[in-house]
Amino acid sequence: MPATTRKGVWDLQQVRDQYLAEEWEQQNQLWSWGRGNEGQLGQSDTTQYSSPVQIPGTTWSSIGSGNYYSLATKTDGTLWSWGQNQFGQLGQNNLTSCSSPIQIPGTTWSLVKSSMYSGYSTLATKTDGTLWSWGRNNRGQLGQSDTTQYSSPRQIPGATWSSIEIGNRHVLSTKSDGTLWSWGYNSSGQLGQSDAYSRSSPVQIPGTTWSSISGGLQHSLAIKTDGTLWAWGGNGAGQLGQGNTTQYSSPRQIPGTTWSFVSATYTSSYAIKNDGTLWAWGQNTYGELAQNNRTQYNSPVQVPGTTWRSLGDGGVYLMFATKTDGTLWAWGYNNTGNLGINVGGTSYRSSPVQIPGTQWSTQVTFGYSGPVLALKALVQ
């Protein structure tokens, strides 16, 4: 059915009803901000922006923000990359950097993720369930059974991959059967294999009901379909939520059975419950736990509010989160304007501040070097 022009203000239920009735089409704008010294903001320049600026196009669907580089897919299945490229992380079969999006070959890409820290690695799935990787591979994080660097996509064995998350130099991925797999660097047990040996090909973490996953610097988080939340890996800042700073190399449960969304950053952790409450724990050097202080917490503490919807993916010393009304909020480190509130310098925020706009989608991603990407879901 052709899209119908609608005017006026709709609540979320009305939007959902129209979507299910296929009476409107969704178009996603892509916005970026923060440090742009390597062209990672996709603005055809190397300028730093402290508030969101749009990247041309309205058909973006999946985004990934790495260390000085960015990637995104479009609804037509094409995949695009830009920014720094010294390890071939842009997938262009070269080491040439660029400051505006250029296409990676193929038209069946579905989901893309990039390493938020020093990994400089990229992984992406296709619509047929295959998983592909390229970029830096010094710890086997590309899952190719070697440590060779690749500047164009190479397939990881298997065809039922459904989700991907990249930490520093370790990867977590689920399959359609609910199994969870890990590979890459494992110095702190972040692969969940009850040891500290790195792997260059996927190995399964016990269990078959894993859903939401996330990887930090040297720790991992995952939610099961029963709503339980599990953590493992490095724990020097209490980021495993166990009430201590003990390192664990296999999954340990965090209390509660109503967790729905999880995100691991540098040495901090965040999760949303079914009731819309948001919880944070771990390092809090720049107020990244949104507690209006800089105190470290070894177990979950609640962030004010009960209408939180989704969390940002990636980053160091900061976090982004959306609410059910489509607003986007940020807090923590802000040295390069990466909070998107038109303020840079050395300022930081230890409680949530709103980024202008009310149509932000659930997808927000941010890398170590400051590139922040976010989608706006527009109703046409």
For residue 170, what are its two tokens? Answer: 């370790």
Q: List CB contacts of 351: < 8 A, sequence separation 6 or more.
A: 287, 290, 291, 292, 304, 331
Cα separation, 328 vs 353, in Å, equals: 9
Give the integer Cα–Cα distance in Å for 83 and 71. Answer: 9
Instruction: Please name the residue that has the structure tokens 């399964």.
Output: 204
Question: Tell me, what DSSP letter sits at residue 59?
Answer: B
C-alpha–C-alpha distance, residues 233 and 377, integer Å: 35
Token readout for 4 is 């119908």
Strand partners, 273: 259
Nearest to 375 by CA among 339, 326, 335: 326
Domain boundaries, given as residue ranges, for the chain: 28-379
What is the predicted pLDDT for the residue at 26?
Answer: 58
Q: How far apart are CA 48 and CA 328, in angstroms?
A: 20
Token pair listed for 38: 């390597």
pLDDT of residue 342: 85
CA atoms of 33 and 40, how far apart (whole Å): 9
Distance (Å, whole) CA 40 – CA 367: 10
Nearest to 69 by CA among 30, 111, 5, 118: 118
3-state secondary structure of 371: coil
SS3 152: strand
Closest CA to 92 of 342, 292, 100, 338: 100
Residue located via tokens 């998350």: 165
CA distance 101 to 373: 13
Dihedral angle computed from the Cα positions of residues 116, 64, 308 and 51, in that order, rounded to the nearest 10 degrees: 90
145: helix, coil or strand?
Answer: coil
Selected from 2.20.130.10, 2.130.10.30, 3.40.50.2000, 3.90.1150.10, the CATH number assigned to the domain covering 28-379 reads 2.130.10.30
Q: How far apart are CA 104 and CA 251, in angstroms?
A: 36
How far, in Å, are 75, 88, 230, 257, 377 from residue 61 at the CA level?
6, 23, 29, 31, 10
Query: How many whole angstroms separate alpha carbon 52 and alpha carbon 373?
Result: 9
Question: CA-CA distance, 216 to 252, in Å (whole number)?
Answer: 16
In angstroms, the CA 220 to CA 148 distance is: 25
- Cα dist. 189→114, 210, 212 in Å? 21, 18, 19
The pTM assigned to this predicted structure is 0.91
For residue 379, give the DSSP letter. Answer: E
**Predicted pLDDT of residue 22:** 41
Please work out, in degrees rounded to the nearest 5, the angle formed at the alpha carbon of residue 319 by the alpha carbons of 225 and 227.
10
- The pLDDT score that the predictor gives to residue 115 is 87
In a structure prediction context, what are the per-residue pLDDT tens digits for the chain, which is 380 residues long?
Answer: 333 333 344 444 444 444 443 434 458 999 999 999 999 999 999 999 999 999 999 999 999 999 999 999 999 999 999 999 999 999 999 999 999 999 999 999 999 999 877 779 999 999 999 999 999 999 999 999 999 999 999 999 998 999 999 999 999 999 999 999 999 999 999 999 999 999 999 999 999 999 999 999 999 999 999 999 999 999 999 999 999 999 999 999 999 999 999 999 999 999 999 999 999 999 999 999 999 999 999 999 999 999 999 999 988 999 999 999 999 999 999 988 999 998 766 689 999 999 999 999 999 999 887 799 999 998 54
* Residue among 372, 379, 378, 380 at smallest CA distance from 31: 372
Residue 370's pLDDT is what? 72
